[in-house]
Amino acid sequence: MNSEELNIEFQDAVSRINAHKEPFPADFLLRLYAYYKKATNDYGRPKSRTPIINAFKTNALFQIKNITQDEAKATYIELVNNYFLYRE
């Protein structure tokens, strides 16, 4: 898959997540958060009002620090596809 196709699939996966109305499991949300941040090169600090949530988010980001932006996009897409595959 080339870079343009990857970007299109990534944006589609983000849209699917944003359109979903039911709550997601916390561990799934943390993984999505980390891969999304890495995929979009958004290295800002977590902005939760709860320090423990910020710690979990920071840890999630730390765990994927050695992957590329494209790897993060591909993993995000895979997470979303698998989540909806087993929910439908």
Domains and CATH numbers, the chain: 3-17+26-85 (1.20.80.10)
Structure confidence by residue, pLDDT tens digits, 54-64: 899 999 999 99
The answer for residues whose C-beta is within 8 angstroms of residue 26's C-beta and 6 or more apart is: none
Whole-number pLDDT of residue 88: 57
pLDDT single digits (tens) 34-59: 999 999 998 777 888 889 998 999 99
Centroid of chain to Cα 48: 16
Q: Is the pTM of this model over 0.85?
A: yes
For the chain, the average pLDDT equals 93
DSSP 23: P
Q: Tell me the Cα Rg of the chain.
A: 13
pLDDT at 49: 85
d(CA 43, CA 27): 20
Q: What percent of the chain has pLDDT over 70?
A: 99
